[in-house]
Amino acid sequence: MKARILEKLDCPKCTDFKLAPQGQAGACPELVCPSCGASYPNREGIPDFVGTAAAPRTFSSQWAMEFSPLVFLYERLWRPMVTAPFSSLSWEMELTSEYLSLSPGLELLDLACGPGNFTRRFSKPLAGGTLIGVDLSLPMLRRAERELRRVGADNITLVRADVSRWPFARSCFDRVHCAGGLHLFPALPDVFASIHRSLVKGGIFVGSTYCVAEGAVKGGIQKYVSAAHGFRWFRPDELRELAIDAGFEGWEHRMKKQGIVFRAVKR
Ligand SMILES: C[S@@+](CC[C@H](N)C(=O)[O-])C[C@H]1O[C@@H](n2cnc3c(N)ncnc32)[C@H](O)[C@@H]1O
Ligand SMILES: [Zn+2]
């Protein structure tokens, strides 16, 4: 594992403790915390901070994100199809790139990267920089890995982690991006605080998610999706407040239907 990646990883149980690679020298070491002794396996190149967590509840959104047929169809079919009534995926991707204002050599963390559909777009603009894609779903990460190899994006490292057990060091990323994840995460104030902590001063957080719909049809769909799959829908103010409470400034956002893309800066 490259030193540039290792220095960005911390033990999720003991904040600010660097991990030591153990085992045979090579690309896939197990990572061990010198403070609490916890060890984190490496799944063929993917450091795993989750381990053997309980299987997600059947038909929950996380169950779907680990269900092979859906993982297979996610990028080309599922994501564009479920996004279309509420937003526009191409708009989300374009505005995200504009807000991130990427340049060669920057270091970026892509949260809830799924199959790497956004992550791959950042590879060329960040030539010479480091990208980490993180997700809870191992099947999604395996899919991402395959796609990265196919397009030869060799500056991206994948990590399996739960954003609630943050394994990233302080002030080590210039950019943090999160598309399609905020409405799924528990304890959002903690997630915003973790993102803020891991950004350098002047670092930018860009996120995209979905707001509450007014009409009966879309409102009804959203209520059903919340009850059945645990999604939440935001008021734009709510996201801005989360960002400000975490210490961000320079809030900007744009909306398309219920889709929202925002940017916030760590001063
Ligand atoms: C809808 S997909 C988004 C994928 C991609 N970023 C996109 O916009 O298309 C949501 C992803 O969030 C991941 N996820 C959900 N809860 C998570 C958590 N607590 N920590 C890390 N990833 C999580 C899921 O595994 C899934 O891959
Ligand atoms: Zn530890």
> pLDDT band for position 17 (50/70/90)?
confident
CA of 16 to the centre of ligand 2 (A): 9
CA of 236 to the centre of ligand 1 (A): 20
Angle formed at CA 95 by CA 153 and CA 170, multiple of 5 degrees:
65
CA distance linking residue 111 with residue 38, whole number of Å? 23
Q: Which residues line ligand 1 (CB under 6 A)?
A: 62, 65, 79, 112-114, 117-118, 135-137, 140, 162-164, 179-181, 184-185
Q: With the C-alpha atoms ordered 50, 162, 103, 143, is the resulting torsion angle positive or negative? A: positive
CA distance linking residue 18 with residue 164, whole number of Å? 18
- Tell me what pLDDT residue 44 has: 87
CA distance linking residue 181 with residue 146, whole number of Å? 21
Mean pLDDT of 120-136: 97
Burial class (CB in 10 A: 0-12, 13-18, 19+), 6: middle
Tell me the H-state helices in the chain: 3-6, 61-64, 68-73, 79-83, 89-100, 119-123, 138-151, 188-198, 216-229, 236-246
Mean pLDDT of 36-46: 93
- Tell me what pLDDT residue 25 has: 61
- Tell me what pLDDT residue 146 has: 97
Mean pLDDT of 195-217: 96
- Tell me what pLDDT residue 127 has: 95
Q: What is the DSSP string of 176-230?
A: EEEES-TTT-SSHHHHHHHHHHHEEEEEEEEEEEEBPP-SHHHHHHHHHHHHHH-
What is the Cα gyration radius of the chain? 18
- Which ligand has the nearest atom to the CA of 206? 1
Which CATH superfamily is 49-265 part of? Vaccinia Virus protein VP39 (3.40.50.150)
- Of 77, 96, 135, the one to substitute when testing ligand 1's pocket (max ligand atoms within 8 A of C-beta) is 135
Kindly state the tokens that stand for 28: 């896939």
Mean pLDDT of 52-66: 84
| Residue 117 burial (CB count, 10 A) | 21
> pLDDT band for position 172 (50/70/90)?
very high
CA distance linking residue 93 with residue 135, whole number of Å? 19
- Express as a percent the part of the chain with pLDDT over 70: 99
- Which ligand has the nearest atom to the CA of 36? 2
> pLDDT band for position 27 (50/70/90)?
low
Ligand 1, atom 1, lies closest to the CA of 180
